[in-house]
Amino acid sequence: MAKEQTITVPDIGNNKDVSIIEVLVKAGDTVKKEDSLITLESDKAAMEIPSTHAGTVKGVIVKVGDKVSQGSPILVLVEDEGGAVQLAAVEPAQDAIASTPGSLAILTDAPSNTITVPDIGNNKDVSIIEVLVKVGDIIGKEDSIITLESDKAAMEIPSPRGGEVKQVLVKVGDKVSRGSPVLVLAGAEDGPALAMAQPTPAPVPATAQIATPSATRATPTLVAIDDYGPSTGNKPHASPAVRRFARELGANVEKIKGTGPKGRILKDDVQAYIKSRLQAPETGSLGLNLIDAPEIDFSQFGPIESSPLSKIRKLTGANLHRNWVSIPHVTVNEDADITDLEAFRVALKSEAEKQKIKLTLMPFLIKAVVSALKAYPRFNSSLAPNGDDLIFKQYYHIGVAIDTPEGLVVPPVRDADRKSIYELAKEVAEFSDRARARKLRAPELQGGTFTISSLGGIGGTGFSPIINAPEVAILGICKAQTKPVWKDGQFVPRLLLPLSLSFDHRVIDGADAARFNAYLAQVLGDMRRVLL
């Protein structure tokens, strides 16, 4: 007999009040299980919501423009089933995203002895570059089990409990996200030993599916820049990934014509737009009409060896290139007299060593920088994506650039204004050790407001550090040198520390940068000023 079923929005992650941009069915339509009903657009993805049942649409409850969340009713479906009629809400489905080549299913209802990927920040589909355990291994709590490599760092994932490895669910090259199953443990430390059984695959319920462009969509064509005209102010249909890709290339999505379904902007459209801009004749605007670099066979000149770049080094290079090209950099230089500061640091060394703390110049630099940022808050800001507003931050997370064999990583010391010199020294040392051991977690690499890059242990007299966007300034430090300084009618030896401050000229004027550097040098010359 006929049975009515109310179809609701399934689990769509942490998204709430997501806009409906398309209703794909109407009353009277016959739908099959997994047929798409509506299309949602969140701040992370455009996704089609499939039906959990088959039947005939009795009534559609939503319309384009409505905002929905998990559990919101979409439509009423009449299905033909033998047996008793029972009208009930849809049971919450056990969430699982079907595996696709090169990716792993995310099981949100994994057994208690299934070890999953913990919070790794905003990273998704992160590559596994190393599996550190095998079946039969006995591991302890916090032992590393896999190594991931994101676009910011290589990181080892520890086990939250100990036990015997009964099954390894991943391999090198797989891509995982938060919640992806890694392995199955028996005899976990935080519970009784569990009798092992083959894990039952989770059913694939109504889950949000990423909308894929039709195979018959129009091919992007090169269009002259003027064909797009000025921004209309209307919100273009584009996924967050495409929007981010466009921002990285400096393209305004409001000026791009989409060739996907319903005019949706695709990655190919962004590339075509950028290509058309580069090929268009210059009309007073700056273009990057660069000739292609020639391919050279270096072996014709002598023996060579080719070594692949790590993912971190490649992505860091791409980000640095983008920042250098898109941000108008200016660097100002200053010498800070740290003679008295160095004497103070040396005097504290033995006291710090008793607390097992290596006291370097870096914690003093962080303290001085925080004082300068409070005096000149524009340096602790970011330019809004629309370019119309400046976002002033009321927190001080100071990034410290760390050189590792895999490449440069910049973990920020959070709330540096609230920490003592010893606390800063200890945290910087721990960051350095963990970065070189590839044990930094993704959330620890986010949220910086200002960066310090130090070559002090190597040498140099000055350089132009590249701004770590979305920050607006970065401080470069070179090796301190003893030089003669004219003081009180005579030359006296003083220890001078070179300061190189690069700043975003869209946000900061040269005079303000000079004042910032002079203030910083003054504080380093007399650290008592941080108390003022």
- Say which residue the tokens 């941000």 belong to: 327
Q: Which two tokens stand for residue 335?
A: 């010498």
Rounded to the nearest angstrom, the gap between the alpha carbon of residue 150 and the centroid of all alpha carbons in its chain is 9
Q: Which residues lie closer than 8 Å to 179 by C-beta, 6 or more apart?
A: 106, 107, 108, 110, 116, 117
Could you tell me the sign of the dihedral formed by the alpha carbons of 343, 344, 347, 348, in that order? Answer: negative
Other CB atoms within 10 Å distance of the CB of residue 182: 25
H/E segment holding residue 133:
none
User: Is the Cα dihedral 446, 452, 456, 459 positive or negative?
Assistant: positive
Instruction: Give yes or no: 505 in active site.
Output: yes
Q: 459-464: long-range contacts (C-beta < 8 A, 24 or more apart)?
A: 460/498, 461/498, 462/333, 462/498, 462/500, 463/500, 464/329, 464/331, 464/500, 464/502
Non-local (6+) Cβ contacts of 296 within 8 A are none
Beta bridge partners of 23: 38
Residue of 237, 329, 397, 505 marked active site: 505
Cα 222 from Cα 220, distance rounded (Å)? 7
For residue 494, list its beta bridge partners: 483
- Would you call 302 helix, strand, or coil by DSSP? coil
Which residues form the catalytic set? Answer: 505
